[in-house]
């Protein structure tokens, strides 16, 4: 295999065109087989429900090269389940879970030369997308759909990798309503957060920390990521909320905190005032894995957990364990990795 000529150790988290993507079409009650496409453009009806009524959902996961050259993808079965749930909540035709896993394997195999080499700190990001394609004017679900999946080699989500960030508690802008679609991965949730993120960055912070829309009291998510805190008595606490996307990374970290670090794990409503009692805090998700939180500003008070670019011991241990499992340097006793056969 001749690997793509890229500066692997200095990749940003941004779009890079690769060789192929896959498209599947739902029409007349059934899904087609994969169509292998070289272009990175799609053609849509001007009245497609994805464009007008937000009938679209997506996923994000990563494939990694190991020291022995094998390639694996992390917890792809959970992404398949989550996309099915997202589709059903906005009345789209779900893409079958077995075909989802098959599509992930196939698109990685087709773009093998773009899988970053082991030790580079980069990974192959996989983006599945499901969209309504019927031309409809009048709010109702599409009858035809397209599932497409593409990949791109990426570096860390936050520039600098595992470096602490500053958060600003947001009280004026809501990301999602309690009984809405905040718990599924649809584009509207991210569009709703753009103003808040832009505001925070303009004030010198890296991201926002949302409060729940109903009470304006409990922590929800942090920008595009789940949030967790480490208490003084060494508990891993993370918000329980119907407005939060169930993060596969967070789910994995809860397991590791309990099973590997011997911590008590609590998923519960977290009063925003608790931030002043944590000894560590972090944001987590597929793109960033873990991003330690340096400080959080809430109204006229700011709590600081870390000095300089240091990383707290719990965040460091969780990060090293999870990434070690993904890269094959730590035993995968949970069966989270799926090896992708390569010819």
Catalytic site residue 201? no
Other CB atoms within 10 A of residue 119 CB: 11
Instruction: State the Cα–Cα distance between residues 16 and 11, nearest whole angstrom.
Output: 10
Local structure of 97: helix, strand or coil: helix
| 3-state per-residue secondary structure call for 238-273 | EECCCCCCCCHHHHHHHHHHHHCCCCEEEEECCEHH
- Which residues, other chains included, contact 226 with Cβ-Cβ below 8 Å and sequence gap of 6+? 238, 239, 244, 245, 247, 249, 250, 283, 284, 285
Instruction: State the Cα–Cα distance between residues 2 and 105, nearest whole angstrom.
Output: 19
Q: Are strands 56-58 and 35-37 parallel, antiparallel or unpaired?
A: unpaired
- Which of 185, 199, 216, 333 is an active site residue? 185
- Which residues, other chains included, contact 212 with Cβ-Cβ below 8 Å and sequence gap of 6+? 178, 218, 219, 220, 241, 243, 269
In 100-180 the beta strands, taken as DSSP E runs, fall at: 123-132, 145-154, 165-170
Q: What is the DSSP string of 180-216?
A: TTTTS-BHHHHHHHHHHHHHHHHTT-SEEEEBPTTTS
Q: What is the DSSP string of 304-340?
A: E---TT---HHHHHHHHHHHHHHHTSS--TT--EEEE
Decide if 99 contacts 107 (C-beta within 8 A). Answer: no
Residues with catalytic function? 185
């Amino acid at each position: 295999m001749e690997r793509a000529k890229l500066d692997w150790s200095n990749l940003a988290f941004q779009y890079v065109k690769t060789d192929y993507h896959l498209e599947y079409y739902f029409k007349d009650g059934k899904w087609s087989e994969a169509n292998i496409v070289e272009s990175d453009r799609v053609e849509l009806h001007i009245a497609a429900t994805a464009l007008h009524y937000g009938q679209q959902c997506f996923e994000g996961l990563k494939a990694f090269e190991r020291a022995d050259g094998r390639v694996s993808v992390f917890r792809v079965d959970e992404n398949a389940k989550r996309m099915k749930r997202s589709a059903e909540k906005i009345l789209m035709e779900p893409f079958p879970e077995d075909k989802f896993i098959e599509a992930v394997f196939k698109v990685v195999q087709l773009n093998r030369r773009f899988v970053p080499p082991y030790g580079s700190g980069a990974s192959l990001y996989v983006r599945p997308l499901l969209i309504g394609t019927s031309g409809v004017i009048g709010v109702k679900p599409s009858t035809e759909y397209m599932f497409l999946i593409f990949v791109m080699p990426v570096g860390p989500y936050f520039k600098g990798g595992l470096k602490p960030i500053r958060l600003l508690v947001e009280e004026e802008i809501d990301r999602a309503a309690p009984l809405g679609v905040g718990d599924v991965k649809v584009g509207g949730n991210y569009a709703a957060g753009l103003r808040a993120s832009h505001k925070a960055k303009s004030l010198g912070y890296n991201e926002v920390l949302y409060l729940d829309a109903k009470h304006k009291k409990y922590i929800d998510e942090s920008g595009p990521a789940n949030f967790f805190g480490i208490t003084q008595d060494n508990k891993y606490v993370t918000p329980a909320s119907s407005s939060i996307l169930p993060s596969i990374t967070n789910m994995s970290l809860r397991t590791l905190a309990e099973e590997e670090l011997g911590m008590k794990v609590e998923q519960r409503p977290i009063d925003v005032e608790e931030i002043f009692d944590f000894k560590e805090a972090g944001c987590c998700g597929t793109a960033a894995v873990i991003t330690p939180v340096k400080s959080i500003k809430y109204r006229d008070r700011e709590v600081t957990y870390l000095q300089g670019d240091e990383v707290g011991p719990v965040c460091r241990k969780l990060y090293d364990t999870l990434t070690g499992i993904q890269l094959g340097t730590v035993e995968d006793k949970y069966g989270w990795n799926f090896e992708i056969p390569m010819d």
